[in-house]
Structure 1
């Protein structure tokens, strides 16, 4: 399968990150932070330099991943100051996607309200009324922009965001009738926080053309203690699920890229060391 890495998980020095990718035989570069800037904030000259480095290392871009719409709340509406700021950033990222040949642009969703639907009394006493209904209108202008620009958006299943499971990601796409322009960026480790079992439950939600991109890392969540620990590949709560996920992706003919998300360090803050420790296992499972 198409394996890659989010490059700033190795280093924000793009040339160094690409050199390390060469060392480990990873092909697809996902760009998030390059040098001192997030994608969408680079000048034309800097984008040209980024493209030259990618070409020199023969690395296609899998996705441009800015935190579009992250930090918004249910109170935000299209046209307000914060939503407009995110839409302006999205336009810049899409321009960069055209320049570097990225087929995908990541978006996020607004801050999470915990209980969105309920029954037998919960709909009266516990549901955050109107919370979910506020989300499709926030995302709809981004979908229309993507259609006009000929790119595909991927909405990440994120920690602390309204879309934090494959179920909610699929529902958003269906509510917008946007499967042509919006796919799921599945991060099964993020979904652990809401206790969605990655396989088979979460994976089942993505069948039928909803899956667009994947992030892989391993974690241990302790929701009651509000604590998250990133662990080496295979040593977290996804350890027994990675192989069946990989097998299902192959059996179903998944053609997108899979990025290792190098957010683990071995206790010393050295994320490149964490990458070097884990990427072999990542390749064995998903590239075998």
Structure 2
């Protein structure tokens, strides 16, 4: 399968990150932060430098991964006319321009701040559910999808920690509600661990046929203690689930990119060390 890496997980120095990625035969560079800026904030001159570096290292870009619609920029009370919302759409348009310049098929979005309980029954629907939170979400995502449709590019909504879509199940529910081929899932199964959703088979089956892009890392979650520990590949709670997931993706003919999310360090704060500790196992499983 096609393997990538989120480059700033190695280094925000793009030239160095690409050199290290190529050392391990990685051919796809997902862009999130480059130098001192988030993708979408670079000048035209800086973007041309990025493009040249990618060409020099023979790397393709699978996804433009700005943090669009995260945190307070999108919540139940948000209106599409709010300035904070319009700012996010402006960021989206800039990222679409970057995607077209660099040949990326996808631009990432998120789904706003998470409400803890979205659905309920037998009394919970009255006392515990954040009433109207889920129903408000599709209307807030649809304007972004309409822009993608006009620009003939695809968006991927990430299953993210602290966001309304924090599991494969909620991702599939949103995709079905929007009903556009221009919105797919950016599946990050490690993030779904905090929602206690197994990567395989539960998570995978929920979004089978809806996946546009994938992030892979390993973690250990302790929800009662509100603690998340990133671990070396195959030393966390997903260790036994990677292989069957990879086999299912191959059997189903998944033709997107799987990006290694290098957010682990071995206690020294050096994420390149974390990348080097895990990348071979990642390649063995998903390559």
TM-score normalized by structure 2?
A: 0.98
Q: Choose from 89, 113, 125 the match for 2:91.
A: 89
**Match of residue 284 from structure 2:** 284
Distance, in Å, in 2 between the alignment partners of 1:20 and 1:115 is: 42
Superposed CA deviations along residues 161-220 of structure 1, whole A, max 9, x for unmatched, are 000001111111111112x1000000000000000111000000112x200000000000
- Structure 1's consecutive aligned runs of 4 or more residues displaced over 6 angstroms after TM superposition are none
**Match of residue 187 from structure 1:** 188
**Match of residue 240 from structure 1:** 240
Distance, in Å, in 2 between the alignment partners of 1:83 and 1:133 is: 17
**Match of residue 136 from structure 1:** 138
What secondary structure is seen at the aligned counterpart in 1 of 2:205?
helix
Distance, in Å, in 1 between the alignment partners of 2:152 and 2:33 is: 23
- Tell me whether 1:148 sits opposite 2:170 in the alignment: no
Cα RMSD after superposing both structures:
0.6
What secondary structure is seen at the aligned counterpart in 1 of 2:66?
coil
The unaligned stretches of length 5 or more in structure 2 are: none
Superposed CA deviations along residues 25-78 of structure 1, whole A, max 9, x for unmatched, are 001110000011001101111111101110111101010000000012211111
Does the CA contact (< 8 Å) of 1:185 and 1:211 recur in 2?
yes
What secondary structure is seen at the aligned counterpart in 2 of 1:118?
coil
Q: Choose from 170, 176, 179 the match for 1:177.
A: 179
Does the CA contact (< 8 Å) of 1:77 and 1:137 recur in 2?
no
Distance, in Å, in 1 between the alignment partners of 2:84 and 2:171 is: 22
Does the CA contact (< 8 Å) of 1:165 and 1:194 recur in 2?
yes
Distance, in Å, in 2 between the alignment partners of 1:135 and 1:89 is: 19
**Match of residue 111 from structure 1:** 113
**Match of residue 223 from structure 1:** 223
Cα distance, 1:153 vs structure 2: 0.2
- Tell me whether 1:268 sits opposite 2:268 in the alignment: yes
Cα distance, 1:133 vs structure 2: 1.0
Distance, in Å, in 1 between the alignment partners of 2:23 and 2:281 is: 15
What secondary structure is seen at the aligned counterpart in 1 of 2:70?
coil
- Tell me whether 1:203 sits opposite 2:204 in the alignment: yes
TM-score normalized by structure 1?
A: 0.98
What secondary structure is seen at the aligned counterpart in 1 of 2:114?
coil
Cα distance, 1:137 vs structure 2: 1.0
Cα distance, 1:258 vs structure 2: 0.2
Distance, in Å, in 2 between the alignment partners of 1:218 and 1:233 is: 5
Cα distance, 1:12 vs structure 2: 0.5
Alignment of 1:21-100 (within 5 A): 21-71=21-71, 72-100=74-102
Distance, in Å, in 2 between the alignment partners of 1:268 and 1:28 is: 27
Cα distance, 1:134 vs structure 2: 1.3
Alignment of 1:151-166 (within 5 A): 151-166=153-168
Distance, in Å, in 1 between the alignment partners of 2:207 and 2:171 is: 9
Aligned length: 285
Q: Choose from 124, 137, 147 the match for 1:122.
A: 124
Does the CA contact (< 8 Å) of 1:213 and 1:256 recur in 2?
yes
